Structure 1
Amino acid sequence: MEFSDAAGFWSFQLKLLSLQRKIQGAIADEKKRVKVARAGAESVKALQQVRWQARRLGDAFAWLVLKLDRKAIRPLAENSPVPISQEGHGSRGADAVSQYLASQGWGFPLLHDITDCLRIGDVTFVRPQGDSTSLRTVELKTRLLGEESSSSDEGPLLHYSVTVSFLSSPEDALEFEATVPEGQEGQAPEQVVEGPSSPRQDRRIEKQFKRMSKALTLQEAADSQIFEVDGNSTMSLLVESSSEGHWGKINELIEESRTTGYASVCIDKAFMYVALYSSDGVTEGSVANPRILDDLKATEFLSEGGKHGNFLEISAIPAQETRAAQLYMPFYLYPISQVAISDFMHGRLVVVALTNAGRIAEALERDGFDVTIPPGTRSPSDSISVAIPAERLRFEGLGFHIRESIHECKGMDFILDVARGIRGTAQLAGEELSRLQSRTEQ
């Protein structure tokens, strides 16, 4: 789609949210029908898959509006999954005030409800400021005040009180009274009046502010400086990666699979991507193709006699829905053809990514790290424990970045750059803590 102005972006969000609500309604109806008919639930699973694709499309939209800024996106994902909101008084009041605040210079309102990855707050206002972007995440609470008849054909006028809560403290909340024609979801309010600030302080609001405060702290944290989060000392460091990714190979892989139904490529000895294509839809039987094992043996993917052996994992691209937010790039934004994206959506194309955590461990050890992979773990890459002997430091969060490398085809260089960045962060943190201790002693 092409957009000529902000109104087009706003309209896209409302259409997408309306579609998600219709899909959710269809799932509820189908569950009732299946229960009565005592039939299989394949139709429900199919609708749930469509719902997931709609949520990931919302994620892709958010990534673009936030300029692919992972430091802005990831802190807003640290919460439980948020179900699709239902149309009603809450959504009408929130939409009306969001448009009003946008007209007052707050920036473009990005609706969190269309996404899966934005789980803290209801709306983030995005406002360009020169070379940078100002973000303000808010919570919205709507209360119906009443309604009155209207002489127009738009239906009665609904009067709402909307509380807009945002940092730096709960006392900063604003209250607005908005008048909205019934049935005009997403339309600008006929009237908005700012009222006194008197938000209701309850435990729910306090928890929301704590989550918003943590997210803001992480978003605004200066690189290479220690700061506090949840009582813990933390340091943020921007990692510049030399990896350009392997999308050229993936595009060739996809094109070959469209001709032969099957294609594979081994990348950096640690990743094997297998593309499966069928115009009738890829089945579980297709994934069990015996050629995969032959290709694994024909490459250097499998280690022979290495210290760590072979720890294999399988991932599907696009990824299936999970409870945790998926914080790698949504497949809609992959640098592949629109035909391939359409094939992903309709199940005609599946890319299976095989990862050998043993090979990743070998590469890390060649770079000076000590690596341990506990035996019997369900996800070896998530369980990789990396030590930096010189800093007497061990970290276990590399699995997040390995998944990012898998789903964005970044290869081994990216993983090594992240590990080196963590090593550099440890060195800086040690120096900073030494300085702080010296000042305390003085």
Structure 2
Amino acid sequence: MPANTDVTNKVTSDGESPLKVIEQVTEVKTDVAADELVEKPTKVEVTAPSYNLAKFKLTRILQNNTLRKTIALLGTFPDVSENDIAVLLLEKQAFKERDVQTELDNISEPAPRIFSDSLQVNTEFINNIYGSFQCVPSSELNNIKTTVVYPATEKHIEKYSITQKYLIKETPTLYEELTLPYITGSHFSLDWVYNILEHRQETDRIVYEDFDPEKGFVLLPDLKWDGKTLETLYLLAIVHKHDIKSLRDLNHTHLPLLHNLRDGIAVAIEERYGLSASQLRMYFHYQPSFYHLHIHINPVRGDAPGIWCEKSHMLDTVISNIELMSDYYQRVTLPFVLFEGSKLLDEYEAKGAVQKGGKAVTDGKQLDEKSHDKSRKSNSIESPQAQKVKLENSQAEVVEPPKKKLKETIESDQPPKVIVVAAE
């Protein structure tokens, strides 16, 4: 099916289809006057980068995720600029089912495949029924998906770096006093978003579009997706409405938009990719990576980045919450994660709105009641504080008690204390 064909015959009360799909990305609207078209400034779509990937100079490795087969690099393109920094994300491609097919009778054009004469095999060992090999298929199957952010900002470096993470409990008061001023004062560029919405860039990547200015959206592949492997499908739906920064701004007036997003995305993806609504997860991120309302969509069976409970909010749940309470997201405490070195985290600390952690319990002694009450109050929803919880990956080291002290305990008149640890 062509990328830009209509997917539904359903019409609204005014006789128009709620899901208007681009039939030609270069079409000119007939209801616009010619002089208006001349006066409106346009930009030529950029199809070639200003940098040469082969001349990338590495500064340091931000992270190396062996589980996801990705690596994030920080560096420069010295031939373009010595000052502008670049973030490169390299990702090994996922396997496609067609790559392992051995019967190609139904395929009209020959396609590269793993099990062919071009496969290079190096035997590591053979042991009875088990064999271990290093295999190198044809070069067409060894592509590395490369995403470039250039020039990159500190926020991009934070996003792709391995740093300490902290869980913030953002109350409505904290949002108004700290988070919102940070968002509005940081002047995050949304030019690339407006380029998409106004068809100045990436027009050939648009999957579907609803042109309604109040409840319409653009649906297109996320940069994380290779655009080919259905198992790793990852799409973004960016709303046309410009005054919604994030989940915090949503209220009952946005329910028509949210319903239209849910229904329109489901119809478009089922028609284009054959996945039903029950096979998809649609969710918001909080905090989002950019402050213009958008939804992430990927298959439920897939393991996508950013689907953790402290970051993602399912679209259905958001709709239900607002239907129950019209200003739910203006009243609720929302958790989100901040990275070490984040300016917003610094704002929380400078304001005294972050508690870094409680006192350690030593020698079996509990905290005094005053400290316990203080800690408990600081975690309450009414308190204008957010607890900063350090997420440690390493386990605490278990220290054996000195043998001498253990012996003294056994020989004393007092019976030894027995600690029973229940197995998980």
Length-normalised TM-score, structure 2: 0.24
Q: Which structure has the larger Rg?
A: 2
- The structure whose RCO (Cα within 8 Å, separation 6+) is larger is 2
Length-normalised TM-score, structure 1: 0.23
